């Protein structure tokens, strides 16, 4: 007996990565594959019906899911309409940290399990975060652009223009999940004193002796470098605003590689223009792509990258493997490890 699987990859988590990982979980060849390739990231993701950050259309998925029991994807939408039209579907695997492109309540109503891939991009995002910290502290993007334009900015050697070293600095990590933990370890390895804030943190675990858990207001008051790694929830929306930025020491930097909703970006621009912040660095934004008129693109000492922190080959392979393992559990009748929703 074969199980039909729709592989709805894209140009990052490709179909061949999914299929290779799935074959490793089902070496007896009991899987029959159908494939579609979604246009992300060549075309930006967006809202599809009631779900966010999706690629493709409801009609495309409805047609492709005919006869499928399992779908593995990164960006395909799972809406109530798609579920209504796919009575044979039993498992929908979303190869990303959070299944925002799946209607979890509707899936539960239809008896469809949804799994996801937490931690898939933790290594890549942590490394990108460290790169942004160093880029912001040492003005690397700005001085690179100046030099290529023919300007030798030796004036940045003035005492008032130079940043701090990580060795001996106090750094604050807000959110201590898979990414935040890695960033904390990296900063500690570079000699920083590391403070962490996470209201759900019960045990430092591998950060014992490397980091100190503190309330958020204490972290902001002491850290010269603050990096955000909390999930986007109603509780974390706007958690860093003008008041929190004002509480940071003069000459601090703030970095966000998590979600744009965590931070008031206009307040950051104000603090950077006033000189209260030495610099800021962002990979995520409240609106993506960033509008051409955004202050983030013109205020000095703000480093920006286009939501690429998780973009590594290891991330794509990890995502496919994590989802394939839960597909294997589904096929064997075992509980899913990364099940989402009710």
Which residues 6+ apart lie within 8 Å of 77 measured at CB?
Answer: 48, 49, 51, 54, 55, 56, 57, 58, 61, 101, 102
Annotation says 224 is catalytic = no
Q: Which of 96, 181, 307, 338 is catalytic?
A: 307
Q: Choose, from 60, 127, 273, 288, the residue flagged as catalytic.
A: 288
C-alpha 129/C-alpha 124 separation (Å) is 9
> Is residue 259 flagged as an active site residue?
yes
Q: Which one of 96, 229, 259, 338 is the catalytic residue?
A: 259
- Catalytic positions are 259, 288, 307
């Amino acid at each position: 007996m074969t199980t039909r699987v729709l592989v709805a990859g894209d140009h990052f988590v490709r179909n061949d990565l999914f299929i290779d990982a799935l074959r490793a979980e089902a070496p007896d060849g009991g899987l029959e594959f159908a494939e579609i390739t979604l246009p992300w990231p060549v075309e930006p993701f967006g809202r599809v019906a009631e779900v966010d950050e999706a690629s493709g259309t409801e009609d495309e998925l409805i047609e492709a899911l005919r006869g499928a029991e399992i779908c593995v994807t990164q960006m395909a939408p799972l809406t109530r309409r798609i579920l209504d039209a796919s009575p044979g579907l039993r498992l929908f695997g979303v190869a990303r940290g959070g299944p925002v492109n799946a209607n979890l309540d509707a899936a539960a109503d239809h008896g469809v399990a949804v799994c996801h891939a937490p931690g898939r991009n933790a290594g890549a995002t942590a490394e990108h975060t460290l790169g942004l910290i160093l880029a912001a502290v040492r003005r690397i993007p700005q001085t690179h652009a100046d030099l290529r334009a023919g300007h030798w900015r030796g004036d940045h050697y003035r005492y008032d223009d130079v940043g701090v070293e990580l060795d001996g600095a106090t750094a604050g990590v807000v959110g201590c999940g898979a990414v935040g933990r890695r960033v904390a370890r990296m900063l500690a390895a570079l000699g920083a004193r590391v403070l962490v804030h996470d209201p759900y943190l019960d045990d430092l675990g591998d950060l014992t002796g490397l980091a100190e858990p503190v309330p958020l207001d204490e972290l902001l008051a002491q850290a010269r470098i603050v990096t955000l790694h909390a999930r986007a929830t109603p509780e974390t929306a706007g958690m860093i605003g003008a008041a929190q930025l004002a509480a940071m020491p003069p000459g601090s930097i703030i970095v966000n590689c998590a979600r744009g909703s965590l931070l008031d970006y206009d307040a950051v621009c104000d603090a950077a223009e006033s000189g209260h912040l030495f610099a800021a660095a962002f990979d995520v934004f409240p609106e993506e792509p960033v509008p051409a008129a955004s202050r983030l693109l013109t205020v000095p000492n703000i480093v920006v990258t286009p939501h690429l922190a998780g973009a590594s080959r290891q991330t794509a392979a990890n995502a496919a493997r994590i989802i394939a393992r839960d597909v294997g559990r589904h096929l064997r009748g075992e509980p899913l490890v990364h099940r989402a929703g009710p």
